[in-house]
């Protein structure tokens, strides 16, 4: 089975009394949710699956024996934050000198807040994010995560006190990630930290085909896996037809006789 | 024998539900936008205000469904605003997620292999606009075969304001939109045949297969040889297309590349 999956991490908790992490499904938020203080020092990484900040999972992401993952989209928010993919002991993004970087930033590949239902004008000077377009795409060279591998994604806030130029409303907006605070009503989700990952999950027989393609240096895409399946079916038909013809020939060689 | 592109728009209108004495779905309660007694179907049954469908979406024996895309209201924090003059809640964000269910299988799961809420309204927004990210595009499409039941389930994960003090103003506070192709009659049978030979089910391929059937009139199309010939022809066609990169892409193929 081929399924396009998405995982969205958010650095927001139900209220001021909540711990800075929630487990498994996204939590039920109160009317005044809180962006918890970023406890890790500035520039230190936080794992989005098990890092103890924001919405987490019980265990790190692990690819089972019957799965194959092709990760082809990563987005980050706010603009002055970044994300780095890791697989086993390898960090994906590196500098030209081979040292690890902090990955891609929200300015490079933004996961821009939609603004939700903010359609009323009763609030003075509502602010919305600048309409930044992604300048980086992973689609052309996706990341393969094979059976048995553990993977994850580090999130970095590269600056605890940040300023953002707004696309709507006047001027700029500021936020201090070193303290816990509720999003301001006029700004909506402008400062909610987020990482968005999108991947194709190949399951069962399709994961075996994906692995086979990878071994043969053929890009693992939905189209190629489908084409490979078509080829297998076609060749099976050829083999069956050949067998059928051979059997017919053998039968025709047997002399007819009365019983 | 028809191929139609269907769409379904669901809306949560709390003011109308309150007027009808219906309760709102609890935050964290995942429900069907087709059959559960919340909200209303907008696009198809405007005259049935406050009603949703009465029957679960079982695909009949001569139907085949290909789910193409969906979206829902975006936003995370509630952004709750009440009108000081009337105390009515005039703005509130549902923080909702869409999950697809086929029979008893949930389509979206977490990386730790357990069921997730699904795709958020920020990842797949409805209505979408130029300022929001392109987000989630369903690729490959989801096939729902005859006798399977499918469902679009939605969950709200923001709490409501105190409804006694701040009832909702009229209007939609959460929306879910789904679009899909419905193949009926002989077209549904063709979809099944395409699946058997591993060919993607889309409008172009169904029409192409129909042409092959017409061309082979009089021949026995249940033969292995015939299926091999069709598979071979499809493969050659795909190869020929790949050699002409300037050729316009088929409308239903490669949505991601098209959007990029």
* Distance (Å) of CA A9 to CA A90, A108, B107, B121: 21, 18, 19, 14
Q: Which residue has the higher pLDDT, A24 or B220?
A: A24
Same domain, A108 and A228: no
Contact A6/B123 with Cβ under 8 angstroms? yes
Same domain, A226 and A119: no
Q: Per-residue pLDDT tens for A193-210?
A: 999 999 999 999 999 999
Same domain, A231 and A195: no
- Structural domain includes residue A212: no
**A-B Cβ pairs (cutoff 8 Å, strict):** 186
Same domain, A203 and A227: no
10-residue stretch averages of pLDDT, chain B, 260 residues long: 90 90 94 88 57 75 94 91 90 94 93 92 84 74 94 96 93 92 94 90 92 77 78 84 62 45
Same domain, A90 and A131: yes
Sequence-distant (≥ 6) Cβ neighbours of residue B172 within 8 angstroms: B11, B12, B13, B42
> What residues of chain B lie within 8 A of the CB of A27, using their CB?
157
Q: How many CB atoms lie within 10 A of CB B124?
A: 26
Picking from B106, B83, B81, B85, the residue whose alpha carbon sits closest to that of residue B93 is B81
Same domain, A51 and A103: yes
Q: Which residue has the higher pLDDT, A240 or A255?
A: A240
Same domain, A149 and A237: no
Same domain, A32 and A148: yes
Distance separating alpha carbons of residues B149 and B35, to the nearest angstrom: 12
Q: Per-residue pLDDT tens for A155-180?
A: 999 888 999 888 776 678 899 999 99
Same domain, A132 and A189: yes
Same domain, A121 and A240: no
Range of the domain at A54: 2-207
Place of tokens 């060689």: A253
- Structural domain includes residue A179: yes
Contact yes or no for B93 and A234 at CB 8 A? no
Q: Is B7 helix (H, G, I), strand (E, B) or coil?
A: strand
The pLDDT of residue B131 is 60
Calculate the CA A25 to chain-centre distance. 16
The pLDDT of residue B253 is 45
Restricting to A residues 192-251, those with a Cβ less than 8 Å away from any Cβ of B are 192, 194, 196, 198, 201, 222-223, 226-227, 229-234, 237-238, 240-241, 244
Same domain, A9 and A60: yes
Contact yes or no for B228 and A237 at CB 8 A? yes
The pLDDT of residue B219 is 65
Q: How many CB atoms lie within 10 A of CB A54?
A: 25
Whole-complex ipTM:
0.88
pTM: 0.89
10 Å CB burial of residue A245 (0-12, 13-18, 19+) is exposed
Q: In total, how many domains does chain A have?
A: 2
User: pLDDT at residue A183 above 60?
Assistant: yes
Q: Which residue of B has its CA nearest to A244?
A: B224
**CA quadruple B236, B238, B241, B243: dihedral, nearest 10:** -70
Mean pLDDT of A135-140: 84
Contact yes or no for B121 and A111 at CB 8 A? no
Restricting to A residues 34-93, those with a Cβ less than 8 Å away from any Cβ of B are 49, 57-62, 64, 75
The pLDDT of residue B245 is 60
- Structural domain includes residue A104: yes
The pLDDT of residue B98 is 97
- Structural domain includes residue A244: yes
Q: Per-residue pLDDT tens for A64-110?
A: 999 999 999 999 999 999 999 999 999 999 999 999 999 999 999 99
Distance separating alpha carbons of residues B153 and B32, to the nearest angstrom: 4
Contact B201/B146 with Cβ under 8 angstroms? no
Contact yes or no for B78 and A131 at CB 8 A? no
The pLDDT of residue B142 is 94
10 Å CB burial of residue A255 (0-12, 13-18, 19+) is exposed
Same domain, A200 and A239: no
Contact status of A169 with chain B (Cβ, < 8 Å): no
Picking from B206, B174, B4, B203, the residue whose alpha carbon sits closest to that of residue A119 is B174
């Amino acid at each position: 089975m081929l399924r396009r999956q998405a995982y969205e991490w958010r650095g927001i908790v139900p209220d001021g009394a909540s711990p800075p992490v929630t487990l498994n499904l996204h939590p039920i938020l109160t009317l005044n949710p809180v962006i918890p203080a970023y406890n890790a020092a500035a520039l230190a990484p936080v794992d989005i699956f098990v890092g103890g900040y924001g919405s987490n999972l019980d265990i790190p992401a692990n690819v089972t024996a019957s799965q194959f993952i092709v990760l082809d989209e990563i987005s980050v928010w706010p603009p002055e934050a970044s994300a780095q993919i890791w697989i086993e002991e390898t960090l994906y993004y590196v500098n030209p000198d081979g040292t690890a970087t902090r990955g891609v930033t929200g300015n490079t590949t933004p996961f821009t807040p939609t603004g939700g239902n903010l359609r009323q004008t009763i609030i003075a000077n509502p602010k919305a994010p600048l309409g930044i377009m992604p300048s980086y795409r992973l689609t052309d060279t996706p990341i393969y995560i094979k059976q048995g591998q553990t993977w994850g994604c580090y999130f970095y806030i590269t600056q605890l006190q940040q300023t953002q130029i707004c696309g709507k409303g006047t001027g700029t907006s500021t936020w201090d990630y070193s303290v816990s605070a509720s999003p301001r009503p006029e700004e909506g989700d402008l400062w909610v930290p987020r990482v968005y990952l999108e991947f194709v999950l190949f399951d069962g027989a399709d994961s075996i085909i994906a692995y086979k393609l990878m071994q043969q240096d053929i890009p693992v895409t939905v189209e190629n896996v489908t084409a490979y399946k078509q080829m297998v079916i076609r060749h099976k038909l050829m083999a069956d037809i050949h067998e059928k013809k051979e059997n017919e020939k053998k039968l025709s060689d047997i002399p007819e006789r009365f019983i | 024998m028809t191929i139609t592109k269907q769409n379904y728009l669901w809306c949560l209108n709390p003011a109308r539900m309150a007027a009808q004495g219906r309760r709102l779905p609890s935050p964290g309660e995942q429900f069907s936008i087709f059959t559960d007694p919340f909200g209303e179907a907008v696009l198809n049954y405007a005259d049935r205000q406050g009603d949703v469908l009465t029957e679960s979406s079982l695909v009949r024996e001569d139907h085949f469904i290909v789910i193409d895309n969906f979206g829902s209201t975006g936003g995370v924090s509630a952004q709750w605003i009440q009108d000081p003059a009337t105390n009515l809640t005039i703005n509130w964000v549902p923080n909702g997620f869409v999950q697809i269910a086929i029979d008893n299988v949930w389509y979206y799961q977490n990386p730790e292999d357990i069921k997730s809420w699904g795709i958020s309204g920020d990842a797949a927004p409805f209505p979408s606009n130029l300022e929001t990210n392109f987000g989630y595009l369903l690729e490959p499409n989801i096939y729902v075969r005859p006798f399977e039941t499918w469902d679009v389930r939605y969950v709200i994960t923001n709490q409501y304001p105190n409804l006694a003090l701040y009832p909702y103003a009229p209007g939609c506070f959460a929306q879910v939109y789904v679009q899909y192709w419905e193949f009926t009659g002989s077209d549904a049978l063709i979809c099944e045949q395409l699946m058997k030979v591993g060919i993607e089910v889309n409008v172009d391929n169904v029409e192409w297969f129909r042409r092959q059937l017409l061309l082979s009139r009089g021949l026995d199309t249940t033969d292995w040889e015939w299926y091999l010939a069709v598979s071979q022809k499809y493969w050659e066609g795909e190869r020929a297309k790949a050699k002409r990169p300037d050729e316009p892409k088929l409308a239903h193929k490669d949505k991601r590349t098209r959007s990029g």
